[in-house]
A and B are shown apart, each in its own frame.
Chain A
Amino acid sequence: MSMLSASQRLQTFANPTRFMALSGRIVGPLAIVSACLLGAGLYYALFDSPPDYQQGDTVRIMYVHVPSAWLAMFGYMVMAGASAMALIFRHPLADVCAKSAAPIGAAFTFLALVTGSLWGKPMWGTWWVWDARLTSVLILFFLYLGYIALWTTIEEPLRAARATAVLALVGAVNVPVIHYSVVWWNTLHQPASVFRLDGPSIASSMLVPLALMALGFTALFITLLLVRMRAEILRRRVRSLLMARARA
């Protein structure tokens, strides 16, 4: 702490303060937007979309599975991007962002894996197969868990931030592997049907609930990220207040 220059110390306090004021105003409305999108998405997903001509009503699993899988990767990209910012620019909020994104990303990765399994059993006849897509997403889940575990093993936040940022960046090679796994290898998992060069190959009656759920999940992710970042900033404040008390 004593090694920090006065300007660095000022930056450490100024930016989180501004973030707290700004995020405090955004988080409530964003939570309402998430709830509305998810409500509309659920309505279309369960009541106002047709069963698939091949997969029947199991297609409704897609409206949870695909947004979860997107967020599993989006969460990791947020975490790796923020980690890079923390390492290169030492932005005081970057490692707070990376740390806060990890548990949310891990939760959605878990959801993607389990809902995929529940979809695989009726459609492929198996709960699990060691194909490239499933295996690389399982590795993503373990990367999240390792990242979270590393934060808890190093007590000093600045040192923990550096070590975890390196881990997050090394693990980032897995993200393009997940995305292209269905192209590079012959997988049981089907290839992309929304983000394609020739446009979505999915019927609009199914694209509407999928898009609403994906937007709702993403808005929820950002809401939760803000709440967790606010909690993390407060936690560091508690730490510095306790240290100040210990010195006094």
Chain B
Amino acid sequence: MMAEFFNMGGYAAYVWPVYGLAALVVVGVIWQSLADYHAQLKLVSELEALAGGRIRRAAKQPSQDAT
């Protein structure tokens, strides 16, 4: 029963590589897309933390001048 399924009517050598390759390509694209997204997200938050510190300092100074 199981052997018959894996045999694919004698076409196992063609059917299974198709499904294996499809899985490989799909998982590969998903992995690469998510990895790139998370890498960019990390860069943005790091750069915004740096810029944010400067913006907060700049926002403080005029108010000090006013008082």
Q: Which residues of A contact B (CB under 8 A)?
A: 46-47, 51, 56-58, 60-61, 64-65, 68, 103-104, 107-108, 110-111, 114-115, 118-119, 121-122, 220, 224, 227-228, 230-231, 234-235, 237-238, 241-242, 244-245, 248
User: Are A227 and B34 in contact (CB-based, < 8 A)?
Assistant: yes
Is B8 a contact of A60 with CB atoms below 8 Å?
yes
Contact-size category for B? 20 to 34
Task: List B contacts of A234 (CB < 8 A).
Answer: 37, 40-41, 43-44
Q: In the complex, how many angstroms separate the beta carbon of A219 from the nearest chain B beta carbon?
A: 12
Q: Is A231 a contact of B36 with CB atoms below 8 Å? A: yes
B3-27 Cβ-contact flags toward A at 8 Å (1 or 0) = 0010011110011011101100110
Task: Check: B50 CB closer than 8 A to any chain A CB.
Answer: yes
- A237-B50 contact given A115-B21, A231-B36, CB 8 Å threshold: no
Assess A248 versus B43: contact at CB under 8 Å? Given A56-B10, A68-B22, A224-B30. no
Tell which of A61, A65, A241 touches B48, judged by Cβ atoms closer than 8 Å. A241
**Among the listed A57, A104, A230, A235, which residue makes an inter-chain contact with B29, where contact means beta carbons less than 8 Å apart?**
A104
- The total of interchain contacts (Cβ-Cβ below 8 angstroms) comes to 87
Minimum Cβ distance to chain A for residue B4 (Å): 10
B12's closest neighbor in chain A, by CB? A57
Residues of chain B within 8 A of A60, CB atoms compared: 8, 15, 18
B33, CB-defined interface residue at 8 Å: yes
Residue of A104, A224, A231 ringed by the most chain B CB atoms within 10 A:
A231
Question: Can you show 7 pairs from A to B with CB atoms below 8 A apart?
Answer: A56-B11, A57-B8, A61-B18, A65-B18, A111-B21, A114-B21, A228-B37
Q: Given contacts A65-B18, A224-B30, A230-B37, is CB(A57)–CB(B11) below 8 Å?
A: yes
Given known A56-B11, A58-B11, contact A241–B44 (CB-CB < 8 A): yes
- Would A238 and B19 be within 8 Å (CB), given that A57-B11, A58-B11, A107-B25 are in contact? no
- Nearest chain-B residue to A38 (Cβ)? B26
Other contacts beyond A57-B15, A58-B11, A107-B28: 19, CB < 8 A? A51-B9, A57-B8, A57-B10, A58-B15, A64-B19, A64-B22, A65-B18, A104-B29, A107-B25, A114-B21, A227-B33, A231-B36, A231-B40, A234-B37, A234-B40, A237-B44, A238-B43, A238-B44, A245-B51
